Structure 1
Amino acid sequence: MAQSIEPNIADLANGWLKSYELPYKLEQESVNAEIDKALSDYFTKNGGTGANRPDAKILLQNKNLDYYPILIEYKGYKDKLVKLDKEGQVENRNTKNEPNFKNINSFAVNGAVHYANALLHHTNYTDIIAIGMTGYKSERGKIRHEIGVYYISKSNLGAGQKVGDYSDLSFLAPKNFDAFIEKVKKLQLSQEELDKLKEQREKEIDQTLTKLNQHIFDNEKGISEKDRVYLVAASIMATIGVPNKVTALDKSELKSSVEKGNKDGDIILRKIKAFLDIKDIPSEKKLFVTRALDNTLTTENINKVENGESQLKRVFTKIVDDLGIYYKIGLTTDFTGKLFNEMYSWLGFSQDKLNDVVLTPNYVASLLVKLARVNKDSFVWDFATGSAGLLVAAMNEMLNDAKNNIKSPEERTQKEIKIKAEQLLGLELLPDIYMLAILNMILMGDGSSNILNIDSIKDFDGKYGFGRAGSKFPADAFILNPPYSALGNGMNFVERALGMMNKGYAAIIIQNSAGSGKAIDYNKRILAKHTLIASIRMPIDVFIGKSSVQTNIYVFKVNEKHHKDEMVRFIDFSNDGYARSNRKKANTNLKDTDQAKERYQEVIDLVRFGKSKLKIFTEKEYYENTIDPKNGTDWNQSAPIDTKPTLQDFKKTVTDYLAWEVSSLLKNQDGSLGK
């Protein structure tokens, strides 16, 4: 194999940096304590602990005085610049979503992107430039080099985007740097690319949570499932920080002291209180959160010091090291929902009072939101909020709509604040789950203002809980996955919510016996005031691992009574294109095996526009018919199977009969011949 010319490449590139008079630092040198610490805290290119050492690093400022860390990695072979996957992304993870150490080690850009992710994970820098450079000597001994320049940021979820093609590093020179950063700022991922990256990151989160849970389960004794959930929540709140107001808690600040008031739990709790104070959250809600977390954080066992370290510090460090990057890059995902599902998948469900709490998978949540026609101006509520997964999905839809339709950045920012503070409302009765809903919305940038811990049937009066307390919440979109044990399978929530709305749409996922006899009186009363637009039969295994009841989605138009001649759209969505499994060790329990995304879009279009939108589905799965508004049991219809025989059927029957006759005759003849 050819010999590496890495020293020559390093010499060439560092010579350029020197000629531009840049304050570059080599491998062993320090840029600043924050960057050094991040590089040493992150897992290394071989997957172990130790230090990550980029070949060169620089911290540059642009004209707005924003800082950009530049991380450079050199290699000395041909074809070792960058390894991309089939989507054209820097391939630093394998198909199991684990770090691909072979690529990170062997390719210049992949190594630089790995270092950039260390900074994204462990520092406050959110925009980083990763540069890889490699080369080889031609037959005549001339050095031929290649350069890869990638932008790693919060906006591209740490995956990285190629900035452009460069033949040297002069774009870093002071006179060119502002123009380079302008170019970087214009890099935009399409919604589709962003969705793909998001999906990939969400799979990683699922796996990371599974591994984290297993690790705590195996290695940390005496921590209950509920404590695990709270410890993750507390660690995230303490390390998320608020720019220029609350610094993120660093694991080095936990000294595992035994001094009263200065134990690790006290330090974390103080940081959480500072975080919540800045967040302008109602005082009773703040009290509720701190009281719940206090119970977990200040127990004696978890703060007990052995070998100079408390169990709390160990668990906190593990959580921050494993999960930090996901909430740092601001994934608008149902984070605590995933956490909740993971933690409770470990609980035996038999005696569990939480048997009733089955969280909606996020792709189903997103379907409900779209069926309820949610947009940037909607006012959305959910009467059985769980971990707020449906409200998170609604919030994402609203923020996306605002991003796509409001061109002024200032106006858009104001709208985003309004969406989070005033346009979402959720009710949850069970205190532990209410806690998760609040956390989820705080982590999402705080739509937690109007998540209320009250009984939506008995005690809710339709008003804001905070901000505009006393005034009516003008709901025009209702989404729901009710507890199965509620009256009428949960249709009591539907009657109550729709009765408090003047207009709009509702989409609910519910046990389908609600539409065929379990909720007759509720259904009749609902149809006397509201229209059933569609009934969608969902796959039986949509809640695999949690329950295996048949569910339907019912879509309503609010405040227009159902006429008997109204056509209802019945859709058999049993095949939604996904294959699900419930394997603990699987990389992913959800696989798109048959155009799942297109099928979901088609269902949305069919409900809205009718059968002109049939493409993948046929009239076997899509059927329009009336229901009797005074019946209440005819909500789950399907396309009738045509039983009238055709001429073809008749010919086949006659042919079969004649064949049988002939074979019988022949048998009889054979029989008589043998006598």
Structure 2
Amino acid sequence: MAKSKVQSVEPNVADYINSQLKSYKLDYKLEQESLNSQIDNALNLYYSKNGGAGGNRPDAKLLKQDPKSLKYYPVLIEYKGYKDKLIKLDKDGQIDNKNAKNEPNFKNINEYAVNGAVHYANAILHHTDYDEIIAIGVTGFKDTLSDKLEIQIGVYYVSKANLAKAIKVGEYSDLSFLKDENFIKFTQKLKELNLTPQELEAIKTKKDEEISIVLTKLNNDIYRDEKGLSENDRVYLVVATIIATLGVEGGKVAPLTKDKLISSEENGERDGDKILSKVKNFLKEKSIPEDKQGLIIRTLANTLTAENLNKPINGESQLKRVFCKIVDDLGEYYKSELNIDFTGKLFNEMYAWLGFTQDQLNDVVLTPPYVATLLVKLARVNKDSFVWDFATGSAGLLIAAMNEMIEDAKNQIQSPDSQKKKIAEIKAQQLMGLEILPNIYMLAVLNMILMGDGSSNILNKDSLRDFDGDYAYGTKQGKFKANAFILNPPYSAEGNGMIFVQKALSMMDSGYAAIIIQSSAGNGKAQAINKEILKSNTLIASIKMPIDLFIGKSSVQTNIYVFQVGVAHNAKHVVKFIDFSDDGYARANRKKAKSSLNLRDIGNAKARYAEVVDLVHYGKNYLNLLSSNDYFEGVIDPSSGSDWNQSAPIDTTPTLEDFKKTVSDYLAWEVSQIIKNQKDNLGK
């Protein structure tokens, strides 16, 4: 006789929980009811639990206000009706809503109550300005003996501050924590759930890997499916889409959503017109200087107003398709608080396969974030630094500097008001970047806007010919008093790029500089420039970097040179030479590697990078993970300019042990010959 199938008790679960909500006098809405237009729109725009377009409908939902802070929390509730359908976790104990390919795991999202509720919470984070959401999953079953309904509840907290990771709040047998008299205590508990710095760092690392995969797929999809778009068009569409969908807090500028683009042919109502209008409003509300606003708008307008991009085909413009693709693929990353070089990654992906010559390819390769952080620390950047970069690319080095400065401000300044003021000063007045290529300049501006807008002094200028050291935008006028210089120059420039170093250091009175450059610059390729630099600056350290540092993008040996600015190099000054060829990381060319992860820590890499900083700042007493053969203190000839890449000398003087080993080896050989001859004679 066939075993009867277990019947779902979801209707009973829904009735039971809805009755609780009603008894608590909560203004909840059921599946088909509207909560508010912003949340309704977000649920409709996000991909559904089955993988389709929109149609997300939580079984119950409400907006709950904290009576103390007056903050609103969206509460999303999903019901199931089987004993084993509350939650599905992965091997690490996290909500299992994505598979190994970083794609939505629709089976789990659809079948498990908590997974479905967290999916709805991600939709709210993705498409609204709510930054803290409560996701509740409820399932139930009938006890086989008593026929009593048994309820299981999972309560999770999803927030931007925790990078959208769903965190379990606690164990609950009902939803009475939503009652007015209990909710203040509940929200206090939420504040205690913030992840530790180590947990946040682990999530950032994972998101970092995910972003590379997502950006590669996005770029390939647009290249394959959207004909007629140049590489510049793709860059500008991504920049415009992201700015238009960010919005400005407090409802000053509402984020542009996919449903607002209706592919009209009416002048002023076209999809490109609407995107451009949002970009204009965003820049104006963010108080971006008018000259810079004009430059950004003119650059983006050429693409956004192109007739072929705005022309509807089957009721949809090409521009809308690309807009929707960018929002769907990237929204969860650029709307979170990752503090990473997002557009730097985007840039590397979008330019990785273009038809550059090798020299051009070397010129557009961006610095890996962990190397950017190393340069910042070597240049001794702190909250009071004034940092500039003369070939800023997508501003990855300046972002690393800004993060270091803000972290130092938070550690050193105790007053919240003073801290906030200092951080604003850092972003508006203490960072300067110059980039000559317009498309890359746009990425730099976008990157700094995403990081909270330190874009005030990102300039679209030739740093060698058109820059006099003055502030170009903002209320602060006069010279930028740089005391920290960081750089990864275009290697095709004079002296492999050392000409940029000479120009920048000549405009500084004091401070430190750290640059990463092709090693041949220190071996004679920039001899004349190097001699000029040393007349006013001291070479502190020369660090040989791994040969595969830029694998898949460029194949050049690089060194980092660290300078003290404003002090002429004395021939007796000790220079620290470090062979950092083994930095603890294993790299693979992602184009050829089977795994999507092309950077793996195989040798305590973070500690190795920290050790290099200590060696440069404090000397050989901090030698630990690196060997004695990797560190050497020596001198250079300031009148040479070609002796900057030295290694520890090899002592060729034979020791007593060497002599003993040689004699031992010889005697062993003599004995073997005698034995061989004896065997040969016996054989005869």
TM tier relative to shorter chain: over 0.9
SS of the residue 1:556 aligns to: strand
Preserved CA contact (<8 Å) 1:511 1:549: yes
Query: For the structure 1 residues 318 and 6, does the alpha-carbon distance in structure 2 shift closer, same or farther, using more than 3 Å as the test?
Result: same
Preserved CA contact (<8 Å) 1:372 1:478: yes
Q: 1:658 aligns with which of 664, 667, 681?
A: 667
CA distance in 2, matches of 1:294, 1:254: 17
Preserved CA contact (<8 Å) 2:239 2:442: no
Query: Which moved further from structure 2: 601-610 or 4-13?
Result: 4-13
**1:580 — aligned with what?**
587
Query: Which moved further from structure 2: 332-341 or 429-438?
Result: 429-438
Query: For the structure 1 residues 640 and 19, does the alpha-carbon distance in structure 2 shift closer, same or farther, using more than 3 Å as the test?
Result: same
Query: For the structure 1 residues 143 and 599, does the alpha-carbon distance in structure 2 shift closer, same or farther, using more than 3 Å as the test?
Result: farther
**2:122 — aligned with what?**
117
What amino acid is the match of 1:421?
A: A
**1:18 — aligned with what?**
22
Matches within 5 A, 1:311-322: 311-322=318-329
**2:630 — aligned with what?**
621
SS of the residue 1:449 aligns to: helix
Matches within 5 A, 1:249-328: 249-328=256-335
**2:381 — aligned with what?**
374
**1:34 — aligned with what?**
38
Preserved CA contact (<8 Å) 1:97 1:587: no
> Are 1:209 and 2:215 counterparts?
yes
Query: For the structure 1 residues 600 and 82, does the alpha-carbon distance in structure 2 shift closer, same or farther, using more than 3 Å as the test?
Result: farther
**Cα deviation digits, residues 401-444 of structure 1 (max 9, x gap):** 22333333332222222111101001112222222222222232
CA distance in 2, matches of 1:464, 1:46: 53
> Are 1:635 and 2:640 counterparts?
no
Preserved CA contact (<8 Å) 2:88 2:96: yes
**1:165 — aligned with what?**
171
SS of the residue 1:152 aligns to: strand
CA distance in 2, matches of 1:78, 1:407: 51
CA distance in 2, matches of 1:87, 1:662: 62
Preserved CA contact (<8 Å) 1:76 1:134: yes
> Are 1:557 and 2:564 counterparts?
yes
**2:196 — aligned with what?**
190
Preserved CA contact (<8 Å) 1:157 1:329: yes
**TM-score scaled by length of structure 1:** 0.94
Q: 2:398 aligns with which of 391, 400, 403?
A: 391
CA distance in 1, matches of 2:9, 2:655: 78
> Are 1:174 and 2:183 counterparts?
no
Query: For the structure 1 residues 5 and 226, does the alpha-carbon distance in structure 2 shift closer, same or farther, using more than 3 Å as the test?
Result: same
Q: 2:370 aligns with which of 342, 363, 372?
A: 363
Query: Which moved further from structure 2: 211-220 or 163-172?
Result: 163-172
**Cα deviation digits, residues 314-349 of structure 1 (max 9, x gap):** 111111111112222243222221111111012022
What amino acid is the match of 2:203?
A: L
Preserved CA contact (<8 Å) 1:27 1:53: yes
What amino acid is the match of 2:61?
A: K
User: Shift in Å at residue 88 of structure 1?
Assistant: 5.0
User: Shift in Å at residue 229 of structure 1?
Assistant: 0.9
CA distance in 1, matches of 2:93, 2:412: 29
Q: 1:59 aligns with which of 28, 51, 63?
A: 63
CA distance in 2, matches of 1:191, 1:121: 23
SS of the residue 1:38 aligns to: helix
**2:246 — aligned with what?**
240
User: Shift in Å at residue 215 of structure 1?
Assistant: 0.9
Q: Which runs of 5+ in 1 are unaligned?
A: none
CA distance in 2, matches of 1:170, 1:436: 48
User: Shift in Å at residue 164 of structure 1?
Assistant: 3.1
> Are 1:104 and 2:121 counterparts?
no
Alignment: residue pair count: 675
What amino acid is the match of 1:410?
A: D
**TM-score scaled by length of structure 2:** 0.93
Q: 1:229 aligns with which of 235, 250, 253?
A: 235
SS of the residue 1:620 aligns to: helix
User: Shift in Å at residue 360 of structure 1?
Assistant: 0.6
User: Shift in Å at residue 307 of structure 1?
Assistant: 0.6
What amino acid is the match of 1:361?
A: P
**1:154 — aligned with what?**
160
Q: Which runs of 5+ in 2 are unaligned?
A: none
User: Cα RMSD between the aligned structures?
Assistant: 2.4
CA distance in 2, matches of 1:2, 1:615: 63
Preserved CA contact (<8 Å) 2:140 2:150: yes
